[in-house]
Amino acid sequence: MNLYPAMINIKDRKVAVIGAGEVAFRKVQDLLDAGALVKVIAPQFSSDFILLKDIFEGRLECLERSYGKGDIQGSMLVFSATDDPDINKAVFEEADELNILINAVDDQPNCSFFVPSFIRRGELIVAVSTSGASPAFAARMRRELEGHIPVGVEDALAGLRIVRTLLKDDLDFGDIDYYGRGRLLNKIANSDFILDTLVSAVQDGSVKEFLKFLITDS
């Protein structure tokens, strides 16, 4: 199966989740952390969902009833996290009619997309997928890759974002063209010493001075 990998911005977008078991709860947590507006439909909810509603006030809606046609209308994504294949099939058919992407947990025929096993470290996301062949193997690969992520990568990426914004928007760096920015960003990203210096500059508020010195020293 040839899948197209993508990272989706779901901030303030509507996402429907059918089911409220443990798997659904973990997915809802991830969706809320990504900024989505989540509607969950299930016959009953655990106290964990009530706690989530308090934490993410106004971003999580819990409807205590069975799924019915029309429940997913207006959603950007749909997750069917039930152990009932008939419900999964019904949700898939409605999503297909409405041209909405759907993931049915452990039910590959009723999926139009799969959720990879992933690691998040600040703005770094490392995702592994087996195209639905073996989620367990994808999780194993994720665990093995996790050990190779450098300590402090979150701070380094935060600094790189600041540098990239300065190079694009600050008038002091207006004479640096697209290719010059690319060379400079590559130089920073590929040197642990320069990255460590950048992190220190972020901490003491001297990123602009750091960047000017780096340009002069190039």
pLDDT reported for residue 81: 94
How far is the CA of 209 from the CAs of 83, 110, 162, 178, 204, in angstroms? Answer: 57, 54, 12, 21, 11
Q: What is the pLDDT of residues 63-88, one digit of tens each?
A: 999 999 999 999 999 999 998 989 99
Residue 29 has pLDDT above 90, yes or no: yes
pLDDT band at 107 (very low <50, low <70, confident <90, very high): confident
Q: What is the mean pLDDT of residues 51-60?
A: 93
Q: pLDDT-based confidence at 94, cuts 50/70/90?
A: very high
**In the predicted structure, residue 217 carries a pLDDT above the cut 80:** no
Token pair 């009723």: residue: 110
Structure confidence at residue 54 as a pLDDT band (50, 70, 90): very high
The token pair that represents 128 in the structure block:
């592994």
Dihedral (CA of 31, 110, 125, 141) sign: positive
Res 83: pLDDT: 87
Name residue, tokens 């989505």.
36
- Residue 218, pLDDT score: 67
Strands (E) in 11-114, as ranges, are: 14-18, 37-42, 60-64, 77-80, 101-104
Report whether 44 contacts 21 (CB < 8 A).
no
Q: What is the mean pLDDT of residues 117-141?
A: 92
Mean pLDDT of 155-170: 95
Share of the chain above pLDDT 90, in %: 87
- By mean pLDDT, which of 36-40, 87-91, 152-156, 214-218 is the weakest? 214-218
- Identify the CATH number of the domain defined by range 1-115: 3.40.50.720
In this structure, the strands spanning 60-64 and 37-42 are parallel
Quote the CA–CA distance of 60 and 29 in Å, as a whole number. 10
Give dist(CA 72, CA 131) in Å, integer.
Answer: 25
Strand partners, 120: 125
- Give the residue from 145, 185, 135 showing the smallest Cα distance to 161: 185
Residue 216 confidence (pLDDT) above 90: no
| Contact indicator for 33, 10 with CB cutoff of 8 Å | no
Q: Tokens 């039910």: give the residue.
A: 107
